[in-house]
Amino acid sequence: MRIILMGPPGVGKGTQAKNIVKKYGIVHLSTGDILRAEVGGNTELGIKAKTFMDAGSLVPDELLLDMMEGRLQQDDCKKGYLLDGFPRTIPQAEGLEKIVEKIGPKIDFVVSLTADEDELVKRLVLRGQESGRSDDTEEVIKERQQVYWKLTAPLLDFYQQRNLLHEVDGLGTIPEITDRILNVLE
């Protein structure tokens, strides 16, 4: 099973991703987590990515596409994967299509979690206070929301046209939302 999980920052993608990959025994590929590890390791990619991440803007498409082309060819992805936070722009989605054409089975489902924007900002401010994530301050959160609506939301149409899109209500308890997603996948 190959899944793309989409949704605005704060909708709970990461938590839901963990539940889904556990259920299907597939790999969880969060580009945010991968990039944070690169930043932590002070790698060439991490150094390039950090400025964009701290500002709440997107890391350039070419960097993401190179990184994911390599990652998706690793052995653990053969049994399936869930993409969390990628693709985030139309060029990334087009690039992903090319990669997938080259390396193997197509994406089966795109799940988009939906929620009210004000509620999301409230949740993220709280998460920032609890976790200390450097990009969870109110100003950066607002920037990340705007980036989502401007650059990432057009992907909903892109995947709708390919008959892959499933919208799932992202408000409710964690198990409720997991059940809604599993209903789509089953």
Active site positions, annotated: 13, 88, 127, 133, 144
Which range, of 48-56, 106-114, 123-131, 164-172, touches ligand AMP by CB under 6 A? 48-56
Q: Residue 122 — φ and ψ, nearest 5°?
A: -60, -45
- For position 85 contacting ligand AMP by CB under 6 A, the verdict is yes
- What is the spatial distance between Cα 3 and Cα 147, in angstroms, rounded to a whole number? 22
SS3 107: coil
- For position 7 contacting ligand AMP by CB under 6 A, the verdict is no
Q: Which of 86, 93, 113, 155 binds ligand AMP (CB under 6 A)?
A: 86
C-alpha count within 13 angstroms, C-beta hemisphere, residue 69: 16
Q: Which of 7, 8, 9, 170 binds ligand AMP (CB under 6 A)?
A: 9
Cis (ω within 30 of 0) for the bond into 87?
yes
Binding letters toward ligand AMP, positions 128-157, x by CB under 6 A: -------x--------x-------------
List the one residue out of 122, 158, 154, 111 whose CA is nearest residue 9.
122
**Nearest distance in Å: CB 137, ligand AMP:** 12
Binding letters toward ligand AMP, positions 62-81, x by CB under 6 A: --x-----------------
- For position 95 contacting ligand AMP by CB under 6 A, the verdict is no
- What is the spatial distance between Cα 79 and Cα 1, in angstroms, rounded to a whole number? 7
**CB-CB contact of 166 with 7 (8 Å):** no
C-beta nearest to ligand AMP: residue: 32
Q: Which of 56, 148, 168, 178 binds ligand AMP (CB under 6 A)?
A: 56
Dihedral sign for Cα atoms in the order 47, 152, 147, 121? negative
Q: Residue 114 — φ and ψ, nearest 5°?
A: -115, 145
Interface residue list for ligand AMP (CB under 6 A): 9, 31-32, 35, 52-53, 56, 58-59, 64, 85-88, 92, 135, 144
